[in-house]
């Protein structure tokens, strides 16, 4: 399952150990990590990004989710993340792009208190025990949330509603007087432009999601192959 993972530590040393542990879990085939960052909540309440990484070829596609969450947690820090990592700046503060609920952002904000440090990552995991065990051993507090694409459902409903309005306007225009028809046609043209823009935006997002899915599939295949080789080597090791 795709999840947003946030692990809060008491200091940077532990956070970097936690980040390294995620990398090790990926090598073992326990998870796939696509993008991640180390984030510090300063004593004055501001937030700094100490490190931002894309993991593998899919990182640039999913980095927006991680960057958006960081932006929601840290305000202007999102601009720094975008400049450093090439994220779409317009999406940094977008809850839809973070793909998590406002309650999750609130939970993370409460846990990430001044002087605390967090590892933020988008991961794929089949079960939670490997990550929890490794992070808790380092003193980390684990928060996670399954990622969603609620925005796409809302967009499709919005387009359907506009298309229904368009059909009604066309029906009225067909029966209206010349003066009234001209006014209705102006509204029809404006609505068609909005529908076209929404449909194009939806297509671009679907294409991006498809590319991300294909890239993630390749990452998972590589992880599975690596895990298989590790098990084979272990089986052949003389005790």
| Percent of the chain with pLDDT strictly greater than 90 | 28
pTM of the model: 0.61
pLDDT of 198 higher than 90? no
pLDDT of residue 91: 37
Q: Given strand 31-41, what is the order of strands in its sheet? A: 47-54, 31-41, 117-125, 2-9, 141-146
pLDDT of residue 76: 43
The predicted-structure confidence for 15-43, as pLDDT tens digits, reads as follows: 999 999 999 998 888 888 877 889 998 88
- DSSP assignment of 208-223: HHHHHHHHHHHHHHHH
pLDDT of 170 higher than 80? yes
The predicted-structure confidence for 56-115, as pLDDT tens digits, reads as follows: 433 343 446 777 788 777 654 333 444 444 443 333 445 556 677 778 888 898 999 999
Select from 61, 57, 59, 83 the least CA-distant residue to 71.
83
With H, G, I as helix, E, B as strand and everything else as coil, classify residue 19: helix
Instruction: Kindly list the domain boundaries of the chain, sorted by start residue.
Output: 2-148, 151-234
Select from 144, 164, 156 the least CA-distant residue to 205.
156
């Amino acid at each position: 399952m795709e999840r947003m993972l946030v692990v809060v530590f008491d200091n940077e040393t532990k956070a970097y150990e936690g980040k390294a542990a995620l990398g090790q879990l990926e090598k073992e085939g326990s998870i796939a990590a696509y993008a991640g960052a180390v984030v510090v909540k300063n004593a004055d309440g501001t937030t700094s990004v100490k490190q931002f990484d894309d993991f593998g070829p899919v990182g640039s596609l999913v980095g927006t989710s991680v960057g958006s969450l960081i932006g929601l947690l840290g305000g202007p820090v999102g601009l720094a993340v975008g400049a450093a990592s090439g994220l779409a700046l317009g999406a940094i503060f977008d809850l839809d792009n973070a793909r998590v609920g406002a309650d999750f952002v609130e939970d993370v904000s409460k846990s990430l208190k001044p002087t605390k440090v967090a590892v933020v990552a988008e991961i794929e995991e089949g079960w939670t025990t490997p990550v929890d065990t490794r992070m808790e051993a380092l003193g980390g507090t684990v928060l996670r949330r399954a990622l969603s694409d609620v925005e796409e459902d809302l967009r499709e409903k919005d387009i359907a509603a506009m298309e229904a309005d368009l059909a009604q306007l066309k029906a009225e225009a067909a029966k209206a007087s010349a003066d009234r028809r001209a006014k209705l046609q102006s509204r029809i043209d404006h609505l068609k432009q909005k529908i076209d823009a929404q449909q194009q935006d939806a297509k671009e997002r679907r294409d991006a999601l498809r590319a991300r899915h294909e890239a993630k599939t390749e990452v998972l295949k590589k992880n599975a192959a690596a895990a298989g080789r590790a098990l084979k080597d272990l089986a052949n090791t003389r005790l």
